[in-house]
Amino acid sequence: MTQPILHKNLPVIEVSDQLTLNDLYADPRTAQFLLARLGPTMAVVAQGQMDALLARLLKLGHTPRVLEA
């Protein structure tokens, strides 16, 4: 069994439902910021691209809530 890899300060997006995340991946201008799907409603955001992703989400009519740990 391989050891899990722990990443620090990994930007993640969580949406309300699977359809929303599917739509974000279907849009090439949004999908470029998403590196990996973590589950039906979560994805890893490319390092340093959160502001660009948030701007894109606002342009698409989403109202993101940002939480920082």
Query: What's the whole-number mean pLDDT along residues 20-41?
Result: 96
pLDDT value of residue 21: 96
- C-alpha 30/C-alpha 56 separation (Å) is 7
| For residue 3, pLDDT beyond 90 | no
Of 15, 8, 9, 10, the residue nearest 65 (C-alpha): 15
| For residue 60, pLDDT beyond 90 | yes
Residues contacting residue 16 through CB under 8 Å, at least 6 positions apart: 41
